Amino acid sequence: MLELLILCDEKQIKGIFKMVGEKARVLAEHGRTDILEKLKNHEVGYHTDFHSVHPTVSEYLERKGFREGAEQFHDNEFNGFQDVASITGMPIKCYGQPGFSWAPQAFPALLGWGIPVYLDTGRQITLHAKPYWYGGMLNFMDLPGLMRMELMEGGLEEAKRQFDDIYEKLSAQSIGFVSIVYHPNEFSTTEFWDLINFGEGKNTPRNEWRPAPLRPFGMMERYIRMLGQFIDYTLSKENVEYITSAQTLELEKSRKDELAPEHVRTLAANTGKDLYFQLFSGYSLSVSDLHSIFVSYLLGKPLVPELIYGPETAAESDIVTAVKVADLKAAISVPYPKVRGSYHLPDHFHIGEAKINPVDVTCTLAKVIREGLKDEDEVTVVRGSLRTQIHANEDDFWGNGWEIFPRDFRVPNIVRMSKLQTWTLKPAIF
């Protein structure tokens, strides 16, 4: 790690170092003030407390609901977050899961800790291979520019060719992102130590942990030099800059200010039975943003989009033809439940004697606004669907996704909840 920090400093670029809580504690215990001091020139992210020790994030959250899971993630991971922040003396700007141990319940906890960016790679939520907002965080998870220089003979020349190809494809965009990813241990060991100790669900006791075998003498330094040559090559291209996740937030330009009433009426006119995010006049609005705006419009509140997480379940609505507008407005006036300090949608809204799910309520709110209905009017309940769910992967078999998972590991509950949280999904604008 020290050699990588020195390299970044020599090249005058900022790296993003996502750190495990246990790693930070070991650095402190070993008195590695040299590493900790150099980290201050870079950005620090969080990478869970114990990474691969079972149960991993996906394993323990597969058994939990959304609110309960968010609390469990906080209980399991917050101490590590605090340790990384206090030991490095740096604010934590991003998070990435260990391996493919992703879960939607992590987002409310992370956001509550003040982490705004989710930086990693994953297949569960994808949006046209571009950055997106999900769970209230800016996500870089499915980038066509994900690459690395392989630490092997010929790796440098192949990486140059790969970078040239990515550079050419991204040149037509105003801003394109390339993510170059390494684990620091790759430069010094021939295997991952966690695979040795925790592979395929194994949980080796701490006093029996075995280190990974080291590379031959001089190989680490050789690969560090190769990486330096690769960095030089990337910087020789026009308009290439190494940035931090915090800087991506500054570059993201979707509007966050208050909408005008006529804008809300236009959004309602564009909202039918299939709920989907909308790009409108510089705004990127998730389905939950639209819901919050429609509610605010009808209740006479400021028309500012508000993050509201999706519900716990995809409940069915009662069979009812129409409801009174006054009853509908009374139902949306009731305070919503909370998860780690943020609102989330209830499974049902109680409208008169009927229980209506959030999808149908949102479609019906749009109809009320579209038709200019008054409190004394009745409105036909619109039966809708959450179309944004198409961006969630249906495959619940994750046993082959990460060598640390048990071979038979399945996550039907995580997949189900990932769909429900596409209420918060929307494109990032750069």
CB atoms within 10 A of CB 172: 7
pLDDT of residue 293: 98
Query: Residue 47 — very low, low, confident or very high, per pLDDT cuts 50/70/90?
Result: very high
What is the pLDDT, as a whole number, of residue 316?
A: 97
**Sorting pLDDT into bands at 50, 70 and 90, what band is 370?**
very high
74 touches 112 (CB < 8 A): yes
Under the banding of pLDDT at 50, 70 and 90, the label for residue 110 is very high
Nearest to 289 by CA among 343, 367, 369: 343
pLDDT band at 303 (very low <50, low <70, confident <90, very high): very high
- DSSP letter for 178, please: -
How many CB atoms are closer than 10 A to CB 20? 20
Q: List the beta bridge partners of residue 354.
A: 351
Q: Which pLDDT score is estimated for 240?
A: 97
Question: Residue 381: its pLDDT value, please?
Answer: 98
The answer to whether the bond into 55 is cis (omega within 30° of 0) is yes
User: Residue 399 — pLDDT band, cuts 50, 70, 90?
Assistant: very high
Predicted local confidence at residue 102, as pLDDT: 98
Q: How confident is the model at residue 116 (pLDDT cuts 50, 70, 90)?
A: very high
Q: For the chain, give the percent of residues with pLDDT over 90.
A: 99
Name the phi and psi angles at 235, rounded to 5.
Answer: -75, -15
Three-class secondary structure of residue 161 per DSSP = helix
CA 334 to chain centre: 29
- In the numeric block, which tokens belong to residue 253? 């330009």
Tens digit of each residue's pLDDT (9 = 90 or more) over 240-273: 999 999 999 999 999 999 999 999 999 999 999 9
Question: Please, what is the average pLDDT of the chain?
Answer: 97
Q: What per-residue confidence (pLDDT) applies to 176?
A: 96
How large is the angle between the packed helices 325-333 and 358-371, nearest 10 degrees? Answer: 130
Among residues 418, 412, 428, the alpha carbon closest in space to that of 124 is found at: 418
pLDDT tens for each residue of 179-232: 999 999 999 999 999 999 999 999 999 999 999 999 999 999 999 999 999 999
Query: Against a cut of 0.85, is the pTM above it?
Result: yes
What is the average per-residue pLDDT within 48-75? 98
Q: What pLDDT does 98 receive?
A: 97
DSSP string of 9-76, one letter each residue: HHHT---EEEE-HHHHHHHHHTT-HHHHHHHTTSEEEE--SSTTSSS-HHHHHTTS-HHHHHHHHHHH
Residue type, 245: S
